[in-house]
Structure formats: structure tokens, C-alpha cells
Amino acid sequence: MPATIQSFVAQGAQMFFVLAIAPAVTGITRKVKARLMRRRGPSIFQPYRDLLKLVRKDSVLAPNATWFFRSAPYMIFAFTWVAAALVPTLASGLMFNWAADVVALVALIGAARALLALAAMDAGTAFGGIGSSREMMIASLAEPASLLVALTIAFAAGTTRLPEVAQFLIAQPLEIRVSFALAFVALVIVALAENARIPVDNPATHLELTMVHEAMVLEYSGRHLAMIEAAGHLKLTLYISLIICLFLPFGMAPFDGTAGAWAIGIGSYLAKLGLAAVALGVWEVSIAKMRVFRVSEFLGGAFTFAFLAILLEFLSREVQR
Amino acid sequence: MIGAGWQLQALFVALAIYAGAALAAVFLPRRRLGLVYAASAAAASLAVVAEISAFFGEVVLKEHLPVGLPGVGLHIRLDGLSAFFGFIVNVGVLMTSIYGAGIKRDDLSKRIEPLYPAFCGAMNAVLLADDAYGFLFFWELMSLSSWALVVSRHDDPESRKAGYVYLVMAAGGTMALLFAFGGLAGASGGYAFDTMRASHLTPLVSALVLGAALIGAGSKAGIMPLHAWLPLAHPAAPSHVSALMSGVMTKVAIYALIRVVFDLLGDPQWWWSLPFILLGATSAVGALLYAVQDQDLKRLLAYSTIENVGIIFAGLGLAIAFKSSNIPPAAGIALAAALIHALNHSWFKSLLFLGAGAVLHATGTKQLDRLGGLIHRMPKTSAFWLIGALAISALPPLNGFVSEWLLFQAVLTGPVFPEPILQFLSPVLGAMLALAAGLAAACFVRAFGTVFLGRPRSPEAATAHEAPFAQTLAIGLLALLCILGGLLGGLTAFALNPLLVEYAGAAAAINTQTGPTPFSLIAFDQGRAIYDAPTIAFFVAVSSFTTMAAIHLFATKKTRRSPAWDCGFPDPSPATQYTASSYSQPLRRVYGGVVYSATETVDMPPPGSLREGHFRIRFSDYLWRFLYVMPANALWAISERFDLIHYLTIRRYLVLMFSTLIVLLVITATFM
């Protein structure tokens, strides 16, 4: 069955495509930040070199570290990778897109997060606990917000399946819906928080009592750290792709599309991804980091926006149809 | 030999074994008491086989026994619903019995072993009762036997307090159920459930029955605000009994609610769903806010039970709402979510309680801040507990996520409700459930992290030992069930279809036959919502293993051990780790101020001073204060006033009697 083989190849290609470009997204953001701070900054390919370097180094484990500490990075990486591969990016209707809908996607990200927060506590250090506890506090607000955003869009589209959601949105006339605007703001806030970006967390900091994500991975080194870094790159790409898929899916190729449609799909996706990475860089240099306990207000805002979005969407059903 | 209807006979045999074991345990010498668990396990296995057969055979078996009330007898009925809940009960009993076989007999044994099979048998009998008298009799037997198990350690004042609160709540609950059945029976007084099904009630009476059933069964299930006994009593019982009470007995209460509301009470009104949805959403979030703060491993689990019961209530509420609005497919999905969550919760909560029991036995404490690092000394228990913790946090591909997913699918159908209140409530419910999912993960990451990971915080934790084989076997089997329940969630949902058709009116809202794989869980139809756990699990497993293999093969797999980095200042004292209280501090700052007005006072000595610093956290439990303590005090004050009546002279007593007679005569004359 050539169709099956074709879709299988397409799914595999998407999986490796996401994996391949993810570090570059981080690289672009870092480059933009550096340029705006009037530094030259490392090449956008530096994250690849970092990963290669880390993978080849010995892993140094704390005396107390257990099998869980050693296996968690691979599981975190796998959960994030599978989640990232499930978001339709280039084209919709890929072979395994059906396996998890948007609710499952949020839960897969949650699984990766829970494993990381647990692994942080394994070595029995103060910093691991700090990071883990703050991460779960942030997640306790960010996860429901992202779920509500997902449900808002899913409800508008009448399905929780991401490819169908994207198809539905492409078919919609271009207009601004209040509920979508609110959901968009909420998802952007969640994406900043989940990826440990400013103003929630500072990805460039170490040795600082305000850190969250870096505190959790402090005891990791070598290949294990590489896995966690790679998962971090993937997660950033995943969230940008999710925002693109849910709010700006225009240009995405239908699965049975022509070569031209695929070219447009790839081109527009890469352009949007690049734009988002640049925007993130600009955002990060133009704002200061918040105190940890202000984060709850920031994320509470996201939760409120998401809740208003779903409420509007639910109650305005009569008006729309 | 085995004829039609053997399932019911098998269940009678199982009940007889339970009863026999209870009686025999009174006379057996202490070293032989392990036999009680062997007998209970045998009875439970037999019952599980019979119930599976009855469920898939879709048989309805009835029996009328000449015991019980004169003229009424005892009606027995085994149908799909009782078979499903019987399966939950007996799988739980089987696992706790295997665990129980590994418990060392001690002085307490004589207080536990005779009551354990009685408790198990009573739960089974409640599910089979088909008349109000039998139901209440076995219900009360279940309450009392579990109460006796709670106070088995009665020299401990906390146990006594737990037992007292439980006894009051259980008695009140049974009283409320008595009123519910009284209302259902009506003036003609038909005790049998068949008569109740046939009778038609006025809206007012149905409302009263609903309220009484919610109080009676809801207090047993532990729904807020009737939950107060749960965090006291469940942890006080021996761990395998805690597992039964939290994992299984709450499900018997859910069964009672489904039986009354979906079966006996007739066609639902849309507003019946309101208490379910409101109480469910409140319990789901409220109980977790207590659970994330709690310092006691078993009490934390009891709070989490309240949360899960809240989720089941929310599912039932949505099912009622959809059913009354005549949207059967959505009602089917909501009911499936509730039933599957009941099944899932019975597995992971039993697992977590049994694991907590193993920890308690190994270290002698269940205080989170005295534990830590048990993954080194109790590797099996830790691994299984991790699976339970991830499952209860509703993370894929484990079983907790299946019911969560179904529930969100039902919530998404919310806007089709004709009533504006329900339209408004469904996104609110969605938001509360989403919040509960996030908090549950925080709660169980904290629990697993402080108990099993890190370094031991006390000598007891440092010298802990792995649980005996029978106990790790029981916990491991439950972990296996959690995994299988997650991977085969689609099949479970599909198997429930006959029940859904019967109680929600849905035909094949949940399908596995048309999906891309036989295991896909499909809500409504394939184009709308689909979740395939085995595929996801396969992808995660393959990508993690190939990545690991590739790195080990092409890069390096060398590992060195060296002191923890800890930002350059590693401290050898385990006291510098995060504790459970410090872990929950951010959550307390975010949620605690409003919910339980948590206040933190820091008494920091000035620089240079050698005085100790102090840090205090104060909570107030508003529900306990306003709904329990204040009414109890008021009752106490009133009864003290009436105490006067005990010290009157004989003349005054005669006056009292005479005036009572006059009042009664006046009432009779006026109203008759």
C-alpha cells in the first residue's frame, strides 16, 4: 500500500524534522537577544554544538542519584518529542496525528514535566527542591490554562483532533474573534512560563535564587543534560508550533496536497517559526524578570483569560450559528 | 452441574466464605490468622470470576430469600451495575488480602482479622441487596465493621476521635438513606426495589429523596462538605483496611447513588445535576488544596480520595444533565467517565494506600518530613508507588488519564444544553477539573519526591527495609492493573456500553471497533475525538530506548560518581533538602490565603544572635469550624438547657405529662 508507506514516511519525516530544527529556534532567539544587547552572540547553530559536546562527555552523578535520575532524561525527551511530533506543522493529517488529541497533548507535556520535577528531587539537594516546587506551582496554573485554551479552540472547531482543528481554522474567513484573542494571549503567557522564559524564569541565569528550570537540572551533566536540553528545545518549538497550528495555520498543506502545496506549507511554517523566535528574543530583552511570587498573578491572568475565552465561546454559540 | 444463574450461587458461596472466615477468626489462634486472608482471597477470586461472567453475559439474576423482615424477606439481584461494582470491590479485596497475608500478626490482630472478612462480605452484600431493608442492613454492617477496624488502635486518642466522628457521620448517613428509601417506597410502603422502580413520585418527593440520598451516600463517599470523617478515619485504620475504605467502600457509596438516582428515582430532572456538578467541582479542587499541604502520607491520600470522588460526582452530574436534556451519546460518555474513574481510582488508591502501609511498617512513621530516600531501601515499593502516583495525576498512558479524557470530552458538549445555567456551568466545571489535574500532579510529585527520593530525613527512614514478598506482590499487581487499565482503556469503555445504554440511554457513543487500531478510545465519532494509548506508549518507549541506545553506542555511556554540585555548596546534612512543607510553600502562597487563610509568621533573630529562629504556619479549616464544630456546640448548649428536665419534682412531671396530653388532643381535634 503506497499510501500507507507514504504517510508513514511523512510522519517519520515530521518527527525528525521537528527534532532537527528545534535547537535552531533556540539559537535564533539567543542570537536576536545578543544582537539587541549589542553583543555579537554565538552562531544560531551553537545549540547543536552544545548538544554534541554534552553527549560525548561523561555523566557525573551525585552519590545519591538512582536509576530514576538516570532514566528520567530519556523519558522526558521521548514524551516531549512525541508531543512535538503530534502537532501538525508542515501538513495536517499525518499518520499518527490521530493517536492523541489536544487534551492528550497537554497531558503528554504534563507527564514530561512531572518526571522532570521528580528527577530534580532525586539527588536530595536544596536547589533541586526549589526548582521542583516552583515548577509545580507554575504548572498548577499553566496546565489548566493551556487545557482551557485547547478546549476553547477545540469547541469552536467541533473536534479535539488537531489536524481537523487546523483544517477548520484554515477554512474560516479571516476575522478576529474575541474568544480567540483571549485564548491567544493566554497561550502565549503559558508558553513563556512553560519554556522558562522571561518574565517567569530566566533561561540564561545560574546561581540565582530566582531560578526555576535551571535549578531543577542543576545536578545533570553529560548525555543526561543533553537530553534535557534537547527536550527544552523541542518544547519551545512545540509551543510555537501549537500557537501556529491553533491561531495561524494558514498555508499548511493538506496531506494529499501537491508538491507546490507542500512547498508552501514548509516555507510558511519555517517563516512563522523564525518570526516567533525573533519575537521571543525581542520580548525577552524588553522586559524584566518577575519575582517568583508575582508569577502566580501573571499566570492567574492567563488562566482568567483562558476561562473567559471558553466562557465566551460556550455562551456565544447561539450568536454564531 | 453449572447451570444458568451459577453466578449468583457463586456469589452466595463467596459471601458464605467471608462470613465463615469472620466467625472462624474469632476462634483461631493468632498464628493461624493468616488463613483469614487466604479465605478472603479465595472468596474474592470466586466472586470476581462470577461477576465478570455475569457482566459480559448481561444476565439479571434474582432471588428471594425467606430471611429478614417478616412478609418482605430478602430480595437479591445481580445485574450489570452490581456486577461492575462487585468487580471493583472484589479486585480490591483480593489485592488487600494478598497484602494482608504479608502482615505480621501482633497484639492488634484479634481486633482486625475477624472484622476484615465481615467488612468485605458486607460490601459485597450491599451490592446484591434488592430491597431497602436488606440494603440498609448490610450498609450499616459495612459501616460498623469498618468503624470497628478504624478504632482497632483505640489506645491512640487520634484513632478514638476518628472513630467518634466516623460513627456520628455514618449513623447520620444511614439515617438519611433511610429517609431516601422511605420517600421512594411512598405511602404504600413497598420495600422491594422493583416496587420502587414501578412507582411514580411527585417532583417534591423526588427532590427530597435526591437530597437524602446525596447526604447519605455522599457522606460515605466523602463528598465535600460531608467529607470531615474521611481524612480522620481512613488513615487511622490499618493500611490494608485504609486501602479498602478509600479505594473500595467509597465506590459502594457511588453505587448506592447511581442505584437510587439513575435506577429507582425515575426520569431525571435537569436540575438534579446541579448538586452533583457543584459539589463535585468543589471537592475536586478543595480537597487537593488540603492534600498538597498535608504532612501525613495517609491523610494526604484520604484527601485525594475526596478529590477523586469529586471527579466521579462531576461525571455523574454531567450524565444526569445530558440524559435529562435528551442527549444520550454525551450522557453515555459522562457516565462512562464516572464509572471508569471509579474503577481506576479503586486501583491506584489501593496501590498508594498499600504502599503507604509498607512505608509505615518499614519506618514507623507516615510523616512526610521524617521520610526520604526510600527508593534506595525499598526499590520495588518505590517503583510501584511511582506508577500509582503518575496514574492518579492523570498522566498518559496510565489509567487515570482515560477517565479524565472522557470527562473533558463530555464537558466539551456542554453548550448544547437548553438551560443557560448548565451552559454556564460546563466551562466552569472544565476549568475546575483542569485546575484539579494540575494540582493533583503537584500533590503527588511532592509526595513521591519527599517520601521516596532525596536523602533520608530520619534514622528510621535510613534503616528502612523492603516490604515482604506478599505485600510487594499486591502492590505490583495493582501497578500492573494501572498500566493495563491505561493501555486498554478503550476496551474498558467499550465493555461498559451495555451499562451506558441501560442507564444513560446511549448506544455506542464509545467505540473501539471503527478506530485505526482495536485499542483506540473514540468519543462520539472518529472524526471528533480519539485517543490511542498503546500507540502513544509505543512511540514514547521506542523513541526513549532508541535514543538511549544510540547515545550509548555512538557517544558514551561512561558515568562517574562525585559529590552533588548544589551550586558549589553541597551540605552533607539531609536537613538542607527541601521538605514537604517547604515544597508546598509556593502553592500555599498562591492558593492558601483564600482557601484556608494560611498565615506564615517568621521569627527571625537579629544578625549575630544565637537564638533559634521560628517559622509557624497557621491554617483554619472553615468547613470544619462552621459546619461541624459550631453546630455541635450549639447542640451541646441546647441539650444542656434541656438537662433541667431531668431534675423536676414529681408534680411538675405530672404537669408536663398532662399538658402534653392536652396539646396532642388539641392537635388531633384541629387536624383530624
Q: What is the pLDDT of residue A319?
A: 45
Chain B nearest-CA distance from A272, in A, is 27
Residue-wise pLDDT tens digits, B32-83: 888 888 899 999 999 999 999 888 888 888 888 888 777 778 888 888 899 9
For B391, nearest residue in chain A (alpha carbons): A111
Chosen for mutation from A64, A164, A317 (greatest number of chain B CBs closer than 10 Å) is A64
Q: What is the pLDDT of residue B503?
A: 86
Bridge partner residues of B531 (DSSP): B521
C-beta separation of B429 from B351 below 8 A: no
Residue-wise pLDDT tens digits, A2-61: 556 666 777 778 788 889 999 999 999 999 999 999 999 899 999 999 999 999 998 999
Q: Which of residues 438-497 of B touch A (CB under 8 A)?
A: 438-439, 441-442, 444-446, 448-450, 453-455
C-beta separation of B498 from B336 below 8 A: no
Residue-wise pLDDT tens digits, A221-275: 889 999 999 999 999 999 999 898 888 887 777 666 677 887 888 888 899 999 9
B662 by Cβ neighbours in 10 Å (0-12 / 13-18 / 19+) ranks as: exposed
Q: How far apart are the first and last CA of chain B?
A: 62
Confidence check: pLDDT of A321 > 80: no
Is there a contact between B450 and A121 if contact means CB atoms under 8 Å apart? yes
pLDDT band of B173, cuts 50, 70, 90:
very high
Q: Which of residues 578-597 of B touch A (CB under 8 A)?
A: 578-579, 582-587, 589-590
Domain boundaries, given as residue ranges, for chain A: 2-320
Chains A, B: CB contacts within 8 A come to: 291
Long-range contacts formed by B459-465: CB under 8 A, 24+ apart = B460/B363, B460/B364, B460/B365, B460/B370, B461/B363, B461/B365, B461/B370, B461/B371, B461/B372, B461/B373, B461/B374, B462/B373, B462/B377, B463/B377, B464/B359, B464/B362, B464/B363, B464/B374, B464/B377, B464/B378, B465/B362, B465/B377, B465/B378
CB of B375 less than 8 A from some CB of A: yes
- Cell numbers placing A172: 474560516
Cα–Cα distance for residue pair B298/A269, rounded to 1 Å: 50
- Cell numbers placing B368: 512526610
Residues of chain A found within 8 Å of residue B585, distances taken between Cβ atoms: 133
pLDDT band of A92, cuts 50, 70, 90:
low
Is there a contact between A296 and B589 if contact means CB atoms under 8 Å apart? yes
C-beta separation of B264 from B177 below 8 A: no
Q: Half-sphere exposure of B339 toward its Cβ, with a 13 Å CA cutoff?
A: 30
Confidence check: pLDDT of B152 > 80: yes
For B421, nearest residue in chain A (alpha carbons): A315
C-beta separation of B360 from B393 below 8 A: no
Q: What is the pLDDT of residue A3?
A: 59
Residues of chain B found within 8 Å of residue A74, distances taken between Cβ atoms: 544-545, 547-548
Is there a contact between A307 and B373 if contact means CB atoms under 8 Å apart? no
C-beta separation of B163 from B151 below 8 A: yes
pLDDT band of A112, cuts 50, 70, 90:
very high
Check whether the bond before A199 is cis (ω within 30° of 0): yes
Residues of chain B found within 8 Å of residue A218, distances taken between Cβ atoms: 565-567
Closest CA to B77 of B18, B31, B130: B130
Q: What is the pLDDT of residue A215?
A: 85
pLDDT band of A290, cuts 50, 70, 90:
confident
Q: Which of residues 538-567 of B touch A (CB under 8 A)?
A: 539-541, 543-545, 547-548, 551, 555-567
C-beta separation of A59 from A95 below 8 A: no
For B574, nearest residue in chain A (alpha carbons): A124
Confidence check: pLDDT of B510 > 70: no
Chain A nearest-CA distance from B291, in A, is 14
Mean pLDDT of the residues in chain B: 87
Q: What is the pLDDT of residue A178?
A: 84
C-beta separation of B403 from B251 below 8 A: no
C-beta separation of B99 from B475 below 8 A: yes
Confidence check: pLDDT of B362 > 50: yes
Check whether the bond before B570 is cis (ω within 30° of 0): no
To the question of pTM greater than 0.80 for the whole model, the response is yes
Check whether the bond before B225 is cis (ω within 30° of 0): yes
Residue-wise pLDDT tens digits, A136-151: 999 988 999 998 998 8
ipTM tops the 0.95 cut: no
Look up residue B605 and give its DSSP letter.
P
Residues of chain B found within 8 Å of residue A3, distances taken between Cβ atoms: none
